[in-house]
Amino acid sequence: MKFIGFLLLFSCCAVLVKAQEKIPSQPQTGKNDTIREYLTVLNGELVPMIVTPEIKIVDVRIFKSQADREAYRRLKYNIYKVLPYAKFAAQRYDKLQRDLATTADRRRQKLMVDTCENQIKDLFKREVENLTISQGEILIKLIDRQTGNTSYEMVKELKGGLKAFMFQSLARIFGHDLKETYDPNEERDMEAILQEAGFYSNQN
């Protein structure tokens, strides 16, 4: 048993020495080299490793017809029209979730929800009610894209199933579906326009 233990110890030492031999020497630095960077081994030498932001390579869009070009232009216009509202809804929803997590008081939580609801209602009365059906549909999809929840799920979570049902029924009258989800594979043009605008999903 002692022999086996000695053999294992000798093997570990040999591996450690061999591993140390493979580690290249540190690169030479000057007195002005004060920026710390990660190092990686390249061709047996230690070289700085810098992590750069993700770079997306896209091709030039080619349209089959002038009608397709016009449809894409209208889609882009509608997305840019509702984008501020989608951002506001997502940010306000995130803030509400953080606020609700700070207290277990049901009355205070209800007050927070009511305050959020009133702010969103004010926004809808001033701006969103004037959106077209197409713009409203895009807004519903963008809310799902950014929050990971459909508009119906958000209302149900915050105000209950009855309110969600009433909101859904009202939305149906205007040709909308609050349960509509966003699929980037099906909405490739929309996704390309959003990424071009720098509007990346929190759920990706």
| pLDDT for res 26 | 62
Tell me the CA distances in angstroms from 153 to 6, 20, 33, 131, 159, one per residue in order.
64, 57, 54, 22, 10
| pLDDT for res 15 | 44
- Of 31-45, 53-67, 155-169, the range with the lowest mean pLDDT is 31-45
Answer yes or no: are the C-beta atoms of 137 and 180 closer than 8 Å: yes
Answer yes or no: are the C-beta atoms of 123 and 88 closer than 8 Å: yes
DSSP assignment of 135-156: HHHHHHHHHHHHHSS-HHHHHH
| pLDDT for res 60 | 74
Segment 87-102 mean pLDDT: 84
Is pLDDT of 3 > 50? Answer: no
Which three-class secondary structure state does DSSP give residue 9? helix
| pLDDT for res 128 | 63
Instruction: Read off the pLDDT of residues 96-107 as tens digits, 9 standing for 90 and up.
Output: 888 888 888 888
Is pLDDT of 65 > 80? Answer: yes
Instruction: Read off the pLDDT of residues 142-178 as tens digits, 9 standing for 90 and up.
Output: 888 888 888 888 778 777 788 778 877 877 777 778 8
- Of 18-22, 45-49, 70-74, 179-183, the range with the lowest mean pLDDT is 18-22
Task: Tell me which residue of 154, 137, 153, 149 sits closest to 82, measured CA to CA.
Answer: 137
- What is the pTM (predicted TM-score) of this model? 0.61
| pLDDT for res 73 | 93
- Give me the chain's average pLDDT, please: 75
Task: Tell me which residue of 196, 204, 198 sits closest to 59, measured CA to CA.
Answer: 196
| Residue type (1 letter), 25 | S
| pLDDT for res 67 | 92
